[in-house]
Structure 1
């Protein structure tokens, strides 16, 4: 057979495959609607399960008192802020898994997951040390004495769940990075249901449990997080996974791989820390404006979080698909997956925004179910309705921000993400302080500032994605040469 004849069939096959790919529908083509939805939909449910869990915590606590609800929101946000740096790195484990999976290097998947677990174990003692600093932290917030007492209790109890949160996130990357997101959905949803049952028992004292109020809500979350970590550990160590992906043999510290996880994941973790810290600082400052402003802001943010978490699911799917397709050296498919995810996210956010504007009580009714009519109730309700309109004003660009930042992080462009977040988070914190303490802009001025901040972030990440530098990036090492 001649050289020409030997080469022709593969070339012809490639041309035919390319023609078929181009002629396929938006739904059925590679990186099209079906592929994105298959990966994203379970992550949407998984993300919602955690958000519903915290949302119901706050609703149940609101039935106890508005102060307990506001305290749980502020303390829970600060607790999450304390976890953001290591959490962002453990979450980035899924990028390594996805790129190794796309490159068909199965032997590197198990050991990648365990580097995330090792990081979680290393930082856990520091996470527990935060318990002792809680009173001082909330003294600085300047909130009322009862709210401050609740905040300290809620934060200190949640800290016992910090190691479990990090370990579970690293182990979950074994499934999410390979696109097996249905497993993540089932585990996270089951744990959310467990948390809701424990909430009902421990907040109000049902089924023989003591009525612990806000402490009970926190202990319910802690117990659920440890159950979640145990479930993922048992799943990852199944014999078939040990054989195919080295999930047991990979339970070793790999210095080079750990260093690369820190190099690429560290900026991602810092970015998450900076973004959440900026929001936390904003919430703490708005809390100084008064109890009504603090309550309404807590409600608006709780509802906003519940609303945008499905977009967070699409953002995570974007990162996974970008990683997989870049592992295959198909940056064109990585870009297509990003645009497809954005279309889903924008369509969803448009519907949610319309509901915030024209039917806000769909979301607010549960908060006021146990309240009698009164002046304070009416003031909190009216302010919450207005704040949801601010959320609607930035929702679409928030979707763009999440999708495009996740896409470039899935490629490894985390340094840019870090520098951008450093500048923007510092700006948000500084301007929020000036708005509250110096300019006396009030709650509406603060929220207008927040909306403008989200708009700027969305545009910045869109432009970075369009520049295309991410297309040539990889977080995994080159495959060994074969002879």
Structure 2
């Protein structure tokens, strides 16, 4: 009897302790993630600013700028994915309290950024022959080339930013990332406005002005991040630039081993949406416009689970580094619940207010917009369901990255996007005749497949040997 009396308070105490630890994890994840979410939204605003300003010059400038940015983006996002491997590696080093490893990982992350940019910039500069092979309009190609000739060099600071941003994320300094990104948006808008239109006695540079603004802004953001790391009391002890020339080939290879699958996964996802846009182009102008509206809405909502996913990489990686399986479990599932919970809200918003949302993009009083608005509202219904699986797959993928598990998730993601999503989109869109709705259902199906397999993989992480000793 006495054993039962003493056991009951013990069980209650364990329950309270477990609940408190989940709440603490929730608080830690949210604190880490919210500046990253806003920073991701601000990062989008960098390109949006250029698009708006170039649109003021005229449709030909807007088209050329859009072509140039569309061409540059796959190289940038692939590089960002690769150098982003610094984040889980630094988080794991932090968890194991290995200060020397932190310095070496960040240093080799900078090396990787430089090496990758040296490979990518010469390719990006070949925009004219590449666009010629793709049958793009020669006049638009020449205008786009004037932008790329300058903007291509922004790959060096842009990829360097990722190495230092990974360090800041791993040590919970995400507010600094937010402040630097917002300052970058403001700086880019000011420089672009002055240079594009030629104010204050400066020559009117048009597309070249936008490109110079992009390059200068990325250099300024990189220098701000480096300065913050070198001066911050918690981070300067790592001496990340000490003996910068000294190689650490093991960690250099490790960044490419973990980061290459991440970069290829991101490229596969970007490629899927590019292919969907091309399929929409076969249906008509209204379908393309409606697709762009629905995709913009989905992309804005996606920034929240993406920020939570980056936080999950750090939280899972830190727990993994200190050999804490329970910490890994709580960090991964907390980010998953927060991400899918937010997407459930946007799903409800898209399902109930879709017709009102799309009028923010096209004037409903113009008769020519009626069909595009109706299509966009319909696409948003599918995008609502799409939100749930998109939030699940991105948080699961980032949680697995915290365990340095990237190769198998890459294979699963590419299969889901290209062997499941795209064929279903084509069959439903063109064979069955559901047109744009069928294409969006295909996108949702591909993401749903990836979400299921990646969430399952995280759930079975110990059985699959992902929690083996580092």
Match in the other structure for 2:128: 135
- Structure 1 counterpart SS, 2:126: helix
Q: TM-score, normalised by structure 1?
A: 0.83
- Structure 1 counterpart SS, 2:323: coil
Q: 2:314 aligns with which of 294, 308, 320?
A: 320
Give yes or no for the alignment of 1:374 onto 2:366. Answer: yes
2:22–2:330: 8 Å Cα contact kept in structure 1?
A: no
Match in the other structure for 1:106: 99
Cα 1:134–1:433, aligned 2, differ >3 Å: closer, same or farther?
A: farther
Cα 1:344–1:228, aligned 2, differ >3 Å: closer, same or farther?
A: same
1:98–1:177: 8 Å Cα contact kept in structure 2?
A: yes
Give the whole-Å Cα distance in 1 for the aligned partners of 2:109 and 2:374.
Answer: 45
Which residues in structure 2 correspond to 1:44-123 (within 5 Å)? 44-61=37-54, 75-123=68-116
Which residues in structure 2 correspond to 1:325-344 (within 5 Å)? 325-344=319-338
For the aligned residue pairs, the C-alpha RMSD in angstroms reads: 3.5
Which residues in structure 2 correspond to 1:164-313 (within 5 Å)? 164-203=157-196, 216-238=209-231, 240=233, 244-249=237-242, 251=244, 252-313=246-307
Please, which moves more after superposition, 283-292 or 436-445? 436-445
Please, which moves more after superposition, 461-470 or 285-294? 285-294
Q: 2:401 aligns with which of 399, 409, 412?
A: 409
Q: 2:25 aligns with which of 26, 32, 46?
A: 32
Deviations 1:178-234, CA, capped at 9 Å, x for gaps: 222122122122212222333444455555555655654444333221211121222
Match in the other structure for 2:350: 356
- Structure 1 counterpart SS, 2:402: helix
Cα 1:59–1:355, aligned 2, differ >3 Å: closer, same or farther?
A: farther
Give the whole-Å Cα distance in 2 for the aligned partners of 1:391 and 1:67.
Answer: 31
- Structure 2 counterpart SS, 1:411: coil
Match in the other structure for 1:8: none
Deviations 1:265-286, CA, capped at 9 Å, x for gaps: 2222222222222222332343
- Structure 2 counterpart SS, 1:310: helix
Give the whole-Å Cα distance in 2 for the aligned partners of 1:28 and 1:170.
Answer: 31
For structure 1, the residue ranges without an aligned partner over 5 or more in a row are: 1-15, 479-483
Match in the other structure for 2:388: 396
Cα 1:373–1:192, aligned 2, differ >3 Å: closer, same or farther?
A: same
Give the whole-Å Cα distance in 1 for the aligned partners of 2:439 and 2:179.
Answer: 39
Deviations 1:43-89, CA, capped at 9 Å, x for gaps: 11211111233344445555666776676556534422123333212
Cα 1:208–1:443, aligned 2, differ >3 Å: closer, same or farther?
A: farther
Match in the other structure for 1:162: 155
Deviations 1:293-337, CA, capped at 9 Å, x for gaps: 333323332232222102110000001000001111112111112
Give the whole-Å Cα distance in 1 for the aligned partners of 2:45 and 2:19.
Answer: 32
- Structure 2 counterpart SS, 1:413: coil
Cα 1:349–1:146, aligned 2, differ >3 Å: closer, same or farther?
A: farther
Give the whole-Å Cα distance in 1 for the aligned partners of 2:450 and 2:53.
Answer: 34
Match in the other structure for 1:10: none
1:393–1:451: 8 Å Cα contact kept in structure 2?
A: yes
Which structure has more relative contact order (CA 8 Å, sep 6+)? It is: 1
Match in the other structure for 1:481: none
Aligned length: 460
Q: CA deviation at 1:255?
A: 0.8
Give the whole-Å Cα distance in 2 for the aligned partners of 1:306 and 1:105.
Answer: 37
Please, which moves more after superposition, 253-262 or 279-288? 279-288
For structure 2, the residue ranges without an aligned partner over 5 or more in a row are: 1-8
